[in-house]
Amino acid sequence: MNKETSKTQDRRILRTKRAIRNAFITLLAEKELEKITIKEIAERADVDRKTVYNYYNGISAILEELENEFFATIQEAFDEFDFKKQRGMEFFDALAALVEKNFELYELLMRIDRSSRLSAKLVEYVKRKISFAISWTQGRALEKINLATEFVAAGILASYKHYFQGDRKKPLKEFSREMGAIILGGLNGIYF
């Protein structure tokens, strides 16, 4: 097989996988995860069931690929953020901008009940990054750093889940800034 044939096949594979994923995302927006079938995905993607199974061993594999990409995007944003130079609120602005780039997909992923595996993965990653940011600032006790990072990471994720599952009366950036103000300033900044 020559290079041109290989490139054509690679593009065809990518197009087919994209069609399958897009069909899955469309169905996920219409119905609960448990009610989606491979047959429906194949019909929407305009491929046969066998083609879907050539690339994914089931619906959970499609979802896992989407979750992994979501997680990789979050990792990329954190890796680009310089906690030593940038202020905390800038992080929440950057996070909101990142989510807005692919809002519909993130909304669907955050609304799925099964997202606890993704949630746990995100919380652990955010904890590591926040722990790093806190630990270099001052010599703090490890126990306090662990408590703070657990609280903040879980709070960020729970807040975004609440936003996506709620009525979303305000823009995401405004919501993220309010969440950031609470996290950075604590309840004292709101009530006292």
pLDDT tens digit sequence for 157-189: 888 888 888 777 888 888 888 888 887 777 665
CA within 13 Å, CB half, 123: 19
pLDDT confidence of residue 70: 81
Torsion on CA atoms 187, 189, 191, 192, rounded to nearest 10: 110
Please work out, in degrees rounded to the nearest 5, the angle formed at the alpha carbon of residue 154 by the alpha carbons of 149 and 157: 125
> CA–CA separation, 160 vs 12, rounded Å?
36
Q: How many other CB atoms are there within 10 angstroms of residue 188's CB atom?
A: 7
CA dist 133 → 79, 85, 86, 126, 165 (Å): 12, 11, 11, 10, 30
pLDDT confidence of residue 11: 85
Q: Considering only 30-44, 106-120, 149-163, which range has the smallest mean pLDDT? A: 106-120
Question: Would the pLDDT of 115 be above 60?
Answer: no
What's the rounded mean pLDDT across residues 66-92?
A: 74
Comparing 20 with 184, the larger pLDDT belongs to 20
Distance from first CA to last CA of the chain, Å, rounded? 71
Comparing 79 with 45, the larger pLDDT belongs to 45
pLDDT class for 45, splitting at 50, 70, 90? very high
Produce one character per residue of 23-56: b if its CB has 16 or more CB atoms within 10 Å, e if not.
bbbebbeeeebeebebebbbebbebeeebbeeeb
pLDDT confidence of residue 72: 84
Question: Would the pLDDT of 20 be above 90?
Answer: yes
Of the ranges 61-70, 82-91, 133-142, 175-184, which is most confident? 61-70
Structure tokens at 82: 């310089």
CA dist 17 → 12, 24, 49, 51, 162 (Å): 9, 11, 13, 9, 31
